[in-house]
Amino acid sequence: MPQIGRNERVRVSLTLDGKKVSGLAEPRMLLSDFLRQQLSAGAVHVGCEHGVCGACTIRVDGRAVRSCLMFAVQAQGCDIETAAGLAGEDGELDALQKAFRKNHALQCGYCTPGILMSVTSFLDSNPDAGEDELKDMLGGHLCRCTGYVGIMRAVLEYAAARRA
Amino acid sequence: MLSASARFTDDMPLRAGTLHAAVLRSPHAHAEIVSIDTTAAEAREGVVAVLTGADVKDVTTPFLIVVKEPMDQWCLAVDRVRFTGEAVAVVVAQDRYIAEDAVDDIAVVYKPLPAVISPLDAAKDGAPLVHEAVGRNVVSVREFTYGDPDRAFAEADHHVDLTIDYPRNSQTPLEGYVVVADYNRQDGVYDILSNFQGPFTVHPVMARALCVPGSRLRMRTAPFSGGGFGVKQAIFPYVVMCAVAARKVGRPVKWVEDRLEHLTAAIAAPNRVVRVEAAATKDGRVTALRYDQLDDYGAYLRPPMPGPLYRQHGVMTGPYDIPNMAITNRLVMTNKTPSGMVRGFGGPQSFYALERVMHRVAEVAGLDRLEVIRKNLVPADAFPYRACGGALLDSGNYQKAVDIAVGKGKLAALMKRRDAARKEGRLYGIGMAAVSDPAQSNMGYLSTIQTAEERKKSGHKGGNISFATVNMEPLGAISVTADSIPQGQGHATVLAQIVADQLGVPPDRITVNTEHDTHKDPWSIATGNYSCRFSSATAVACHKAAVEIRAKLARIAAQRLNVKAADIDFADGMVFARNNPGNALKLHRVAGVAHWQPGELPEGMEPGMRATGVWAPPELEPPNDQDQINTSLTYGFVFDFCGVEIDRDTGQVRIDKYVTMHDSGTILNPLLKDGQTYGAFAWGVGCALMEEFVYGPKGEFLSGTFADYLPPTIHEVPEPELYHLETPTTLTPLGAKGGAEGNVMSTPVCLANAVCDALGLENINLPMTPAKISALIHGEEPARPDTSTDKAGAGADRSRALTGQGSHTVPAAPEQVWAALIDADRLAAVIPGCHELELVGENEYRALVTLGVGPVSGRFKARVKLSDMKPPDAVTLSGDLAGPLGASSGSGRVRLTGVAGGTRVDYDYEVEITGRVAAIGGRMLDGAAGVVINQFFRRLTKRIHGADKTGDAGQLPFWRRLARKLGFGG
């Protein structure tokens, strides 16, 4: 494990939504802050900074991770995916985003990017997950606006469409 | 929004050179600020400035308040702190990390003062005073009488009397406050970008505090806001704080609130103690109500407080026809976070009292609860109905709504389900609630706090003005701006729909911009997003603007098509003669005339194609001489019933079925309306079962994380069954009433009524946590069994007083142990996290230790004094600890006894903890304390035996390792 001095800034290089990028980070810098402040990753939303709300969830090498609970330097060389990478180059929403729109699964939209990343990560590894398992997964996210009704409908619809 | 484009306030581009702010907050609920030393903070590299109360006092005035009492509040504490988390100083630095480091460098000496936390205690004579200059904590008392309640009570068959203690909570949006402030020296304008949501009654408050005319305080918003729920009204002290800082440093200053700051210090809905009484006939007709309300506003009365105490005033009789009422409103100050606007805005508190007492009336009278509700509802043929408090209920059919809900929601089947469950010995209950759902506040309702005489002197206040602008460009593009400042409610969608309907184009052709800029957009004091204002206010203003544009277009088209304007119609982007659709013009051609050919416009018509709709409903009159006030423009109706089952072992309340019936007038957009209902319901469930800001007896704030303050997850929130009735309001052209607050008022009390039914309780207070319910079923939990020698544990109350006792055996003689304990160097080596320990007086040490709990750690300065020394048998340690994580003080007695194999060390201690550790680490403190003590003795043993010369120096401090094990970064 590399040793980094307390006030030393190191270059962290990673892949962000398919593009190779890098920035400077002190060892203590949170990955969420690094992505937002150094790499302008606006789809990373910071809601609690203690790993409860789930708004800052991203995918690190395919796995859903709360970016506020990781240091930037731990992401060296990782493949980072945020919700900004879901839509196509032309801005067309992907199937999950479309399901969210159709089912009114968001209001203020602050919790949404984190939920989208959890859902895609979870269904990639659990394609046959049923309602209870999906509910357990969504239990890791707080939404203060919607009462979760639209979110659950959207996720069920998307999961079914993926299986079809 | 779904494409995750970054357009929240924190995402907006910053001017070059923008600096970042971090706030130092009080660890005490009440203390005098003896001194603040900012030298070290200012010397830190990257720090540009540190501001304290003295700086803000130089350039600002205290915030205006509604009650004329000397309760000055500045944006940073001046001389005294009055709640845990109060802003004391702000550091401005190159980045937030540096700013936070520098916050830890500021040395504040506090002289703690007695704090008063409970509103009932605060209201007593001799209570510690939150504001000494006022001379009392109850800063406003008003009594109101409508009809003849005394006579009704005297003649009543039944007299029901309940006392409710409604807790503090908030809907806590996921996005915290964000402010970017700039100051332009040339024109003297403060330019603020923030997620302020209104009401703009607060704009003059901020401008006045900054000593500038309103035109020199430019308030702007970003395209998106991450949730509001009223909460983002209380950002205003920070707007002023950042404005002052920007002016001082000559550069823009940005501040982003974090979650701990938000939970600790942003806002709470006022907790309220209500004594509510109902007079009823033997057949269940309620003839009078009596309320004695003590509303707790925390440490400062921030405008527009005490709104929650008066917003419901005209409709304290709810949806019922109750002709007599007496109300006593008392407003009390305590050493807690200032109260503010939170969704429901007084409604949850008011309707909890009313619907609990209606439930009790049925029980006491031995009647069916639904029958009591039905019997008292305002009859369908009585509208428009003037409630005795002054509310004008313009329309509705409450009986029909109840019938639909009971029928479609299958109440009869639910009753059978309850009976079956009870036969099996299960705890099952049914609850009901009926509430009025007010929308669009009368800006004059708060003047009800004044007497009629005072109102005459200060001028009558009322009304609620809204604006929306529709613009058509030369090539026909249509855009809309409005004064609603939404946080995701879908206002843009509805506004586009309203304009599209008038102009015959698809809604997606219309661009709506809901950003607001006080320098450019029309606004009034009512501007903003609160009290369900949109559907009956801004939407109507937009409708008026669209109608005006349509009329203008029709006149231009009529001239060119040689028909009357009244015969013109709009559809599919065409303007045409209704009786001869072939006689038509393209919409954009007609609009173009107003731009390109002003000389050819019909006589008297102004050129251009822009209209601003202004809407100010006349029904929102000032309070009259009898103190009657029509507090809101429209009043929807909500009726809920539910079935809950309680787990007998755990006390967990499970919502088995929930039915909610809404009459919100005409529904402008069903998907958006239902979304608001589901969201309100979820928060209602949170308030009923989980959410509460908890304080220790000395004002320690104990709910600083989302693991302590518990918003419900998808597991706690079932999908309610939703039914609608649409009785249009006659007071607006669109017929829509509000619909976003109903369930935050109805759901908590509906669930409470169900729990009371399940457990046979007369009354219960929120939140109905498993611990509370368990205690009701099984009695208070017995003390934790004594399973170890170390009995560290929190006291039975919810204080963060950490008490414990225990014993360890150290394999050395008492004299050796004693020598180690009183030798500074040796002690320094065995205290976990100790960096320095020096003798500063006889048996008095000063130490620097690093401690951390959960996600935070920091350096503390400790002073420890040894007293009552009986070498080598006993010693008392006392002292205090202060650092960025909080403060503590305490004492402990250590006794040494020689035993076979060494020395038995017996100890007991009591430590009081405040500040950040109390707020976020409460759950972990007890266990952590025990482990640290164990570690101390292990190291002591090693030290005495020289077994480990290096100690644990090579490792991370224990607290850090514990934090990592618990899953925090540490």
* B749-778 tens-digit pLDDT: 999 999 999 999 999 999 999 999 999 999
Task: Please classify residue B825 by burial: count the beta carbons closer than 10 Å to its beta carbon, then call 0-12 exposed, 13-18 middle and 19+ buried.
Answer: exposed
The pLDDT score that the predictor gives to residue B961 is 52
Interface test with B, best of A145, A146, A153, A158 (most B CBs within 10 A): A145
Residue A41 distance to chain B (closest CA, Å):
8
pLDDT of residue B947: 43
Residue A52 forms contact with B (CB below 8 Å): yes
What whole-number distance in Å separates Cα of residue A106 and Cα of residue B785? 47
- Same-domain status, A14 and A52: yes
Which tokens hold the place of B119?
């509103």
Report the range of poorest mean pLDDT among A47-56, B357-366, B891-900: B891-900
**Chain A residue with minimal CA distance to B715?**
A139
Residue % of chain A over a pLDDT of 90: 92
pLDDT above 50: residue B156: yes
> Residue A4 domain-assigned?
no
A72 and A16 share a domain? yes
Residue spans per domain, chain B:
9-113+171-266, 122-169+268-447+621-775, 465-615, 793-965
Same domain, A81 and A16: yes
Does the B465-615 domain belong in CATH 3.30.365.10? yes
Cβ–Cβ below 8 Å for B706 and A50: yes
- Render pLDDT for B415-435 as a digit per residue (tens, 0 to 9): 999 999 999 999 999 999 999
- Token pair belonging to B714: 């998808």
Of A41-55, B579-593, B707-721, B832-846, minimum mean pLDDT range:
B832-846
Residue A76, in any domain of the structure: yes
Q: Which pLDDT belongs to residue B730?
A: 95
Q: Would the pLDDT of B970 be above 50?
A: no
Two tokens, residue B429: 């209950």
Shortest CA gap A163–chain B (Å): 23
Spell out which residues of chain A touch residue B854, defining contact as CB-CB under 8 Å: 50
> Please, which pLDDT band fits residue B909 given cuts at 50, 70 and 90?
confident
A38 touching chain B per CB within 8 A: no
- pLDDT attached to residue B965: 53
Contact A45 B174 (CB under 8 A): yes
Min Cα separation A42/chain B (Å): 5
Please check whether residues A108 and A79 belong to one and the same domain. Answer: no
What span, in angstroms and rounded, lies between the C-alpha atoms of B455 and B462? Answer: 11
Q: Which strand (E) or helix (H) includes residue B163?
A: strand B158-166
Interface contact B679-A152, CB threshold 8 A:
no
Between B778 and B860, the higher pLDDT residue: B778
Say what angle helices B411-423 and B398-408 make with each other, to 10 degrees.
Answer: 50
Distance from CA of B713 to the nearest CA of A (A): 6
Interface check B582 vs A, CB under 8 A: no
Do A101 and A154 belong to one domain?
yes
A152 — contact with chain B (CB < 8 Å)? yes
pLDDT of residue B693: 98
Q: Is residue A127 part of a domain?
A: yes
Tell me what percent of the residues of chain B surpass a pLDDT of 70: 94
* Contact list, A134 vs chain B (CB under 8 Å): none
- Counted residue by residue, chain B has a size of 970
Better-scored residue on pLDDT, A5 or B612: B612
pLDDT tens track for B206-252: 999 999 999 999 999 999 999 999 999 999 999 999 999 999 999 99
Does residue B694 carry a pLDDT above 60?
yes
If one counts the domains in chain A, the total is 2
Q: Strand order of the sheet with strand B138-146?
A: B138-146, B324-332, B286-296, B271-280, B158-166
Cis peptide before B384 (omega within 30 of 0): yes
Asked if A47's CB is within 8 angstroms of B2's CB, the reply is no
Give yes or no for A25 touching B (CB within 8 A).
no
In chain B, which residues have their Cβ closer than 8 Å to the Cβ of A105?
none
Which of the listed residues A35, A58, A85 is the one where a domain comes to its end? Answer: A85
User: Which residue of chain A comes nearest to B7, CA vs CA?
Assistant: A42
Q: Give yes or no for residue B859 having a pLDDT over 90.
A: no
In this complex, the residue of A48, A87, A110 whose CB is nearest that of residue B706 is A48
A15 shares its domain with A74: yes
What residues of B are in contact with residue A46 (Cβ under 8 Å)?
10
B-proximal residues of A, 86-115, CB under 8 Å: 86-87, 91, 93, 97, 100-101, 104, 106-113
Q: Is the pLDDT of residue B968 over 70?
A: no
CB contact under 8 A, B707 and A52: yes
Residue B841 phi, psi dihedral angles, 5° rounding: -170, -175
Mean pLDDT of the A117-145 span? 97
Q: Please say if the pLDDT value at position B789 is more than 70.
A: no
CATH number of the domain at A151, please: 1.10.150.120
**C-alpha dihedral (B347, B349, B351, B354), degrees to nearest 10:** -150
**Mean pLDDT of the region B57-79:** 96
Whether residue B855 is preceded by a cis peptide bond, meaning omega within 30 degrees of 0, is no
Rounded Cα gap, residues B866 and B687, in angstroms: 47
A3 domain-assigned: no
Bigger pLDDT: A105 or B889?
A105
pLDDT on residue B960: 54
pLDDT at B855: 56
Q: Are residues A36 and A78 in the same domain?
A: yes
Contact state of B714 with A48 under an 8 Å Cβ cutoff: no
CA-to-CA distance for B660 and B800, rounded, in angstroms?
Answer: 40
Interface test with A, best of B343, B491, B713, B850 (most A CBs within 10 A): B713
- Higher per-residue confidence, B20 vs B848: B20
- For domain B793-965, the question of CATH label 3.40.50.20 is answered with no
Q: Does B490 touch chain A (CB under 8 A)?
A: yes
B705 near A CB under 8 A: yes
Q: CB-based contact (8 Å) between B385 and chain A?
A: no
pLDDT bin (cut points 50, 70, 90) of residue B912 is: confident
- How far apart CA B880 and CA B373 sit, in angstroms, is 58
What pLDDT digit, counting tens, does each position of B866-883 carry? 889 898 899 888 888 777
Please tell me the distance in Å from A13's CA to the nearest CA on chain B.
21
Q: Of all residues in chain A, what percent are helix, strand and coil, respectively (each to 5)?
A: 40, 15, 45
Contacts of A86 in chain B (CB under 8 A): 4
Contact A50 B707 (CB under 8 A): yes
Beta strands in B177-232 (DSSP E): 178-184, 189-194, 217-220
Residues A102/B671, Cβ–Cβ less than 8 Å: no
In a domain, A1, yes or no: no
> What is the longest distance spanned by two Cα atoms in chain A?
52
Conformational region of residue B608, where left means phi above 0, alpha means psi within -120 to 50, and beta covers everything else: left
Residue numbers in B near A142 (CB within 8 A): 174, 706, 711, 713
| Cβ-based contacts of B713 with chain A (< 8 Å) | 138-142, 148
Structure tokens at A126: 């659990």
**Lowest-pLDDT choice from B447-461, B705-719, B885-899:** B885-899
Apex B729 CA angle, B725 and B731, nearest 5: 175
**Which band of pLDDT confidence, cut at 50, 70 and 90, is reported for residue B950?**
very low
**Domain end residue (candidates: A85, A105, A124):** A85
CATH class label, B122-169+268-447+621-775: alpha beta
* Residue A5 within any structural domain of the chain: no
User: What is the CATH number for A32?
Assistant: 3.10.20.30
In B, minimum Cα distance to A149 occurs at B719
- Residue ranges of B 655-674 with Cβ closer than 8 A to chain A: 671-672, 674
What pLDDT shows up at residue B64? 95
Q: What does residue B883 show for φ and ψ, rounded to 5 degrees?
A: -175, -175
Judging contacts by C-beta atoms under 8 Å, the chain A residues touching residue B228 are 108
Poorest-confidence range of B263-267, B344-348, B895-899?
Answer: B895-899
> Is residue A2 assigned to a domain?
no
pLDDT at B642: 98
Please give the residue of chain A at the shortest CA–CA distance from B225. A108
Q: Which of B232-241, B527-536, B900-909 has the lowest mean pLDDT?
A: B900-909
* Interchain CB distance below 8 Å, B175 and A152: no
In this complex, do B3 and A145 lie within 8 Å of one another by their Cβ atoms? no
* pLDDT exceeds cutoff 50 at B33: yes
Mean pLDDT across chain B, nearest whole number? 92
| Residue B856, pLDDT score | 63
Q: Is the pLDDT of residue B969 over 80?
A: no
Rg from Cα positions in chain A: 16
Which residues in A lie closer than 8 A to residue B95 (C-beta atoms)? 37
Could you tell me the residue range of the domain that residue A116 belongs to? 95-163
Q: Does B719 touch chain A if contact means CB atoms closer than 8 Å?
A: yes
Q: How far is CA B726 from the centre of its chain?
A: 31
Domains B122-169+268-447+621-775 and B465-615 share a fold: yes
Question: Please, are residues B742 and B757 in contact by the beta-carbon 8 Å criterion?
Answer: no
Instruction: Tell me which chain B residue has its CA closest to the CA of residue A151.
Output: B714
A69 to chain B: which residues are within 8 Å by CB?
967-969
- Chain A, residues 2-21, CB within 8 A of chain B, namely none
Same domain, A59 and A102: no
* Residue A71 with chain B: CB contacts under 8 Å: 969
Over 60: is that where the pLDDT of B779 sits?
yes
Mutating which of B5, B95, B174 best tests the A interface, going by the most A Cβ atoms within 10 A?
B174
Report the CATH number of the B9-113+171-266 domain: 3.90.1170.50
**pLDDT (mean) for B49-63:** 97
Q: What is the ipTM of this complex?
A: 0.97
